[in-house]
Structure 1
Amino acid sequence: MARKGYHHGNLRQALVDAVLPIIEARGPTGFTLSEVAKAAEVTPPAVYRHFEGREDLIAEAARQGYGIFADLMEHAYETGGPSPLAKLETVGRAYLAFARKFPGHYIAMFESGISINRNADLAARSARAFGVLERAAEDVTRHLPPGRRPPPQMVAAHIWATAHGVVELFARGSPGTKSPFPPEDLLESAIGVYLRGLGLIPQDA
């Protein structure tokens, strides 16, 4: 097949689209830019018109992923149900859904070693996504007296870490076949145990 050279309408996006399945299959370090160029049906020098190197391309995949991720998290928060706990659990399920539906983006975001501070837009999109969890955590903790109220940022970070652990162990790849419980049930029960331990929901809830 003849290479398309620079005839893409949007070569930059075509290269991101080409690298995502490669990242999913091989990880963030298992490819060269020449392989991405071949997948996008362009010549290798064309890649360097848009990206300085492999990390720059991965960072763009991560930036776009965080935008999708933040949109999904915000939608989950806004439509998640009548109670703060329901909203928090819906946001958690949206995290799992994103990891399943956008594995290439997810790996670029969380497993590539790319700093979220690599550029301002990447940092802003990451902050917007984490901000949704912070708002949900603040809703859950609001009823506690100030002296007993944990910082929403800490609660959000703990829940983010829990969701990430469920994804890594049970929601992506072959380890997921070993869990006797659906990932959503694992995450929901973990959130419940955590919030009960903090006294944020009744023991019998």
Structure 2
Amino acid sequence: MPKRGYHHGNLRQALIDAALRLIEEKGPQGFTLSEAAKVAGVTPAAVYRHFQGREDLIAEIARQGFGIFADLMEYAHDEGRPSALASFEAVGRAYLAFARKHPGHYQAMFESGLSVNRTPELAAAARRGTEVLERAAAELSKHIPPENRPPAQMVSAHIWALSHGVVELYARGTPGGRTPFPPEDLLETGIGVYLRGLGILPPDG
């Protein structure tokens, strides 16, 4: 039977929490709105008072996820100071930590097939994490003369891709993704090799 006692506003979050559990169990495309309503303890009709369809529900989960993700990235960046390299590496580790701690949000953000431009709110939330990584990249390379300095957007995009690859292959229990090295070590050494290759870090830095 539907649960009683919901007030305006918290039913919406109850549906989001129910969908998060289903995403963790079945993936972002593996559940229906009716299933989410059942887990939340409400009628299927109640869902449509808050979301037009499953993609709207997943998009809201992704928006919330990007907000959590950006908060973690910002905290990691700020705590890594005064070393720009420490801040940069901390942001990478925060990516791994987020994927482990918030698997439902992670899948909604990166594995649902939804565009981050689906809504202005989702796009703005997604930009926050990117901006933290770009800021860290800019700080790390500011000692290089401008004419030789690699674009911060390029550096951040490469590190984002490296972080995402380590998460997908080694940090989420993916079949076949076995390595004797901890994911954090893989990411840290990969970042070091990349930054030395660009000349941002000295060969022995």
TM range, smaller chain: over 0.9
Deviates more, 1:111-120 or 1:32-41: 111-120
In the other structure, the counterpart of 2:3 is 4
Q: Provide Cα deviations, 1:41-97, integer angstroms capped at 9, x if missing partner.
A: 100010011000010000000000011011110000111132111100001001100
Alignment correspondent of 2:145: 145
Aligned to 1:136: 136
CA separation of 1:176 and 1:186: change in aligned 2, threshold 3 A: farther
Contact kept, 8 Å, 2:168 with 2:174, in 1: the verdict is no
Question: For residue 53 of structure 1, what is the aligned residue in structure 2?
Answer: 53
Q: State the TM-score, normalized to the length of structure 1.
A: 0.96
Question: In 2, distance between residues paired with 1:59 and 1:98?
Answer: 18
Alpha-carbon distance, 1:177 to partner: 6.7
Give the aligned partner of residue 68 of structure 1.
Answer: 68
Q: Report the counterpart of residue 185 of structure 2 in structure 1.
A: 185
Deviation of the 1:179 alpha carbon: 1.7
Aligned AA for 1:8? Y
| Aligned pairs (5 A) from 1:51-200 | 51-175=51-175, 178-200=178-200
Equivalenced residues, count: 203
**Residue identity matched to 1:74:** E
**1-side partners of 2:184 and 2:176: how far apart?**
12
Aligned mates of 1:203, 1:69 — CA distance in 2: 32
Aligned 8 A contact 2:135 2:152 in 1: yes
Please say if residues 169 and 177 of structure 2, whose CA atoms lie closer than 8 Å, have aligned partners that are also in contact: no
* RMSD after superposition: 1.3
Q: 1-side partners of 2:175 and 2:133: how far apart?
A: 26
Measured at CA, do residues 113 and 75 of structure 1 come closer, stay the same or move farther in structure 2, by a change above 3 Å?
same
Distance 1:176 1:50 in 2: 40
What is the letter of the counterpart of residue 64 of structure 1?
Q
Distance 1:170 1:176, change over 3 A: farther
Provide structure 1 residue ranges, at least 5 long, that are not aligned to the other structure: none
The code of the aligned residue for 2:6 comes to H
Classify the secondary structure of the residue corresponding to 2:73.
helix
Q: How much does 1:122 deviate?
A: 1.1
Match for residue 203 of structure 2? 203
Distance apart, 1:8 and its partner CA = 1.9
TM-score normalised by L of structure 2: 0.96
- d(CA) in 1 for partners of 2:71, 2:174: 28
Larger deviation, residues 175-184 vs 195-204? 175-184
